[in-house]
Amino acid sequence: MKLGALRLAEMALVGSMTCAAAAHAADDVVIVYDASGSMWGQIDGTSKIEIARDVLTGLVNDWDKDTNLGLVAYGHRSKGDCTDIETLIAPGPLHKSDFIETVNVIKPVGKTPISAAVQQAAELMSYRDSSSTVVLISDGVETCNADPCALSAELAKQGMNFTAHVVGFDLKEEENANLSCIAENTGGVFVPASNAAELHGALDQVQSAMDLKPVTPEPEPEEPPPPEVTVSGPAQATTGAAFDVSWSKTINPRDMVAIVPTGADEGTRATYLRTEDRTEGSLKAPAEPGLYEIRYILDVGSKTLATAPIEVVEAEVTVSGPPQATTGAGFDVSWSKTINPRDMVAIVPTGADEGT
């Protein structure tokens, strides 16, 4: 079942891992199978050896038939022998029924010589000269006075492309570190599995992942550069006065050319005109003097494509009329210049509110 969980982790990491997936056709893969006495222990009423058999049966049935698959078991023949390691199937074309039958007759008996078993599996695949993958399934830590962390580091150093994936089956938390280093040192993945339900629940997903091959994730498509547009207008305009603006081309007839305060938020439009199918038009300067900018703004997304600075200055206008007029009578007035044709000259009570 750990193997199932292992494949799940490989799915999640496939974009970042450089090692080959265990089911990749033409890879040499050896499963190192724990047959130590502790595999008779039960999880949810089922022995761990039965769970492991079920998992391997499911995985092997869907394994790529072109994979060169081998099987090494340890602890299955004698009770206290650290040399009890046997190559049950040499790496070669997969014969599914033979492989499953071999797994099903393994009986847990002895110790846990993890380091020596992994070493034997690596040698089977000529790991120094070819790409090779070990999948270790174990419910215990090394019990034969060896250091699997040091061994795995050496295998990674000497191997051409050696990877070990490790499934820690029903281990205590502190025991996981004793096995996880094997995966870490070789670029593999370590997955703890704690119960039968968790392992069996992962099996379907594992089977669907068995054909995964390492891939280079496709780069995110680059956002196309925005169209090139320029906008222009006078360096200065008088408050309230109309002024001419122009732009190099129209992207969309509903785009806008606007005058806004310098640094205004994206999408601000204030006083604006639609570009329609032209490249020039007229805007009215704001009533407040200050620094502004002319913007070409896309209708879709309100993105600013081009800007030009403009200063709005106070209008200088004088107005005159007679010092006295009779109620209801007409009288002449004059002003020094017109800022905007829709401006007004009015008579109001002295001190009346602005805009009266």
Binning pLDDT at 50, 70 and 90, where does residue 323 land? very high
Tokens of 270: 């204030």
On whether both 39 and 114 belong to a single domain, the answer is yes
Please give the average per-residue pLDDT across 59-84, as a whole number: 85
pLDDT of residue 313: 94
CATH of residue 72: 3.40.50.410
pTM greater than 0.85: no
Look up residue 226 and give its DSSP letter: P
Task: Determine the average pLDDT of the residues in 152-174.
Answer: 85
**Does 260 score more than 70 pLDDT?**
yes
Mapped onto helix, strand or coil, the DSSP state of residue 69 is strand
Hunting for tokens 């997304």 — which residue is that? 301
Residues 185 and 242 both lie in one domain: no
Instruction: Give the pLDDT confidence score for residue 57 in this predicted structure.
Output: 84
**What pLDDT band is residue 164 in, cutting at 50, 70 and 90?**
confident
Please report the pLDDT score of residue 217 as a whole number: 52
pLDDT at residue 14 above 50? Answer: no
Distances (CA, A) of 209 to 187, 270, 311, 312, 331: 19, 56, 64, 66, 94
Both tokens of 242, joined, read 């109309």
**Contact yes or no for 126/67 (Cβ under 8 A):** no
Q: For the ranges 40-44, 286-290, 319-323, 328-332, which has the lowest average pLDDT?
A: 40-44
Give the pLDDT of residue 341: 84
For residues 272-276, average pLDDT:
93
**Which CATH number is 233's domain given?**
2.60.40.1930
Judgement on whether residues 202 and 238 belong to the same structural domain of the protein: no
Higher model confidence: residue 216 or residue 235? 235
Same domain, 110 and 182: yes
Looking at the structure of the chain, the number of domains it has is: 2
Q: Are residues 6 and 95 in the same domain?
A: yes
Task: Give backbone dihedrals phi and psi of 83, rounded to 5 degrees, phi first.
Answer: -100, 10
